[in-house]
Amino acid sequence: MILIGMFDSPFVRRVAVAMELHGVSFEHRDWSVGRDFDHIREYSPLGRVPVLVLDDGEALTESAVILDWLDGQAAEGTSLLPPHGAQRRQALKLVGYATGAVEKALLQVMERVFRPAEKSHQPWLDRCHLQMRGALQVLDDACVEAGDADWLVGERIGLADITLACFCTYVRDAVPFDLDAFPALSARVARYEALPVLQKYYVPFDAPVPGAAAPAKD
């Protein structure tokens, strides 16, 4: 299989981590949505990452779609999302808030990098920041509730944990935003980021060059 996209994208990174946890090997194409836009569009007309090219040549786009496919291939009891019930709802809730936070972070980054300062609309930026903080507060509350438990949902690392780490690290590095404003969240992210599988696919955020294509959301 071929995974397309740079690991400083939180969406590409969480797919790579999930594939590692599933024991699925892949070839990596370190392509940028700016520099390599036309190459990416050969596999996905959207020109967004991640793209996972399967062994038969089918290309899957959107990290949520790829992750769903990976879980569908997993052996019973090894999926990263609980199959049903309250634990599944809790995991999806946390994934949803982490996704909301990173999407609002991306909008702030795009505004800073691509829009001329004289055209920046501060009330809109303030709204994005408020929404991001609101999502992070929910995640912090969940971390407080989890206490010393190794994982947020269940007895093994799951999609909620992976997404929390990848997305909140992007918020910290790219906005940038000091996660210490949310102590329980900050501590859990730091613990997750110390795991070898998270370290393996960590690449420091590299701000896009103004005038290049805007960063892909997913």
- C-alpha to C-alpha distance for 162 and 69, rounded to whole angstroms: 16
- C-alpha to C-alpha distance for 131 and 185, rounded to whole angstroms: 17
Closest CA to 193 of 169, 160, 172: 169
For the whole prediction, is pTM greater than 0.85?
A: yes
pLDDT digits (tens, 9 = 90+) for 56-104: 999 999 999 999 999 999 988 899 999 999 999 999 999 999 999 999 9
- C-alpha to C-alpha distance for 143 and 64, rounded to whole angstroms: 23
pLDDT at 217 over 70: no
Tell me, what's the pLDDT at 214? 54
As a 3-state breakdown, the chain gives helix, strand, coil percent values, each rounded to 5, of 55, 5, 40
- C-alpha to C-alpha distance for 151 and 148, rounded to whole angstroms: 9
pLDDT digits (tens, 9 = 90+) for 15-57: 999 999 999 999 999 999 989 999 999 999 999 999 999 999 9
Mean pLDDT of 171-184: 97
